[in-house]
Structure 1
């Protein structure tokens, strides 16, 4: 579904159902160098089980016009503007990795508009190594390969694939390559630099008053579960769910992630 946000075209996948702002709304926010498709199973299930779904493409990603925004704060403001464009007063925000920082910052800026927060593969500070940032700047394909390997818990998943013809690691690698082809303006570097620079996470977490869920991968090398302690300690009422997956948990353990999110959303509906 297309919206007009900040004078540019913005796309949000609605899970295969027409979006209805009168339903409880779930907003899915993807991570760096990704788009709405990383939420394929989760977004479709919610849309077919009584929720209004907006799985966004952030500016410069997927079907949303660019340029990519250069800070978490700007992306959070964009998400809130999207809610305005969609006619949504309050929503549950679900964010993965960079998307978790965006959801957290949006809740800090407009707490009355956020019914609940689900933060997946999150950490703060979300520091990115100098070597990865430099590689992203000068050799984006090499940086994509590095992150793709680190995002998965294993090269050969057990079972080897969710379905015939499906390759977990290859799917994410191809998605990141596609984002580079669609937006050649150093999208990877822009996203990871935004994560690295974001400084308001602790203050935002300490201010959270809505129900909060943390979904952490027990084999996550990008944002290890232990690194989320500052956030989980700041949001003392938050619940923590561990899934046996790496950073790419939505594809490695799609059912476990869905179960955690749907149970959380139904509790606060």
Structure 2
């Protein structure tokens, strides 16, 4: 059966952030579905809730699992939600998992500071988009520059989504994850704060740090991220192959 890929975006952005990955996978004939979480992208008018976010991920994974083994990949907030989802006590039908730019526990001073910064940007003229656009212009390559914001920015959802993340028990979830897991971080990503802890707690984790990238690792180095998707898919394909029973030797006559 063909590996099925489900992609979960980060906060403020939408499924469009994965355009490069979708094009790459479709070019390989790999079925892929990039979802919009509540309050984001095509669902901007909806209210974000953890229950709604988990239901969205589960619907996509369950649907994909009917056709083949599932590789789930999440970025930033989407990665944190996916850690909690894959690490449920009753494991969902996920055969492999990529957690990108999300090795930080969203609690305490770090989360409070992040929320304050987000509110500060939101209070600026044009909600800080002049600065956002300037940063993206300087850091993203032309082929992905428009993808990050093509589905719109979920300004009104951001604070509620950030606040909701504080209840996630990520370390307990990581301990329960029993499938191949890849942590992919940018070299200069601010969410590498608990990277060593995450890798140490997870059972089957590999850490990959992409040089010369920040938080938007999939958009800054799309060819590298796409190659890592290929590695994960190949691993799942290998694991899905039935083991051959060694042929019994014939008795000597």
TM-score category (smaller protein): 0.7 to 0.9
Deviation at 1:94, TM superposition (A): 0.2
Does the C-alpha gap of structure 1 residues 187 and 65 become closer, same or farther in structure 2, counting only changes over 3 Å?
closer
Output the CA distance in 1 between the equivalents of 2:144 and 2:95: 35
1:241 aligns with 2:221: no
Q: CA RMSD in A?
A: 3.1
Report if the CA contact (8 A) 2:37-2:43 is conserved.
yes
Tell me which of 103, 106, 128 is aligned to 1:126. 106
Cα-to-partner distance string for 1:188-216 (whole Å, 9 max, x where unaligned): 11222223x13310010000100111111
Report if the CA contact (8 A) 2:38-2:52 is conserved.
no
Residue 82 of structure 2 corresponds to: 103
Report if the CA contact (8 A) 1:33-1:179 is conserved.
yes
Segments of structure 2 that go 5 or more residues without pairing to the other structure are 238-253
Report if the CA contact (8 A) 2:4-2:31 is conserved.
yes
Segments of structure 1 that go 5 or more residues without pairing to the other structure are 1-21
The TM-score with structure 2 as length reference comes to 0.77
Deviation at 1:239, TM superposition (A): 1.2
Residue 34 of structure 1 corresponds to: 13
The TM-score with structure 1 as length reference comes to 0.73
Tell me which of 196, 204, 207 is aligned to 2:173. 204
Across the two proteins, how many residue pairs are aligned to each other? 229
SS at match of 2:87: helix
More contact order relative to length (CA 8 Å, sep ≥ 6)? 2
SS at match of 2:72: strand
Tell me which of 243, 252, 258 is aligned to 2:220. 252
Cα-to-partner distance string for 1:123-178 (whole Å, 9 max, x where unaligned): 231244434424545762547669959xx7x9744xxx634xx684x864x558x2
SS at match of 2:43: coil
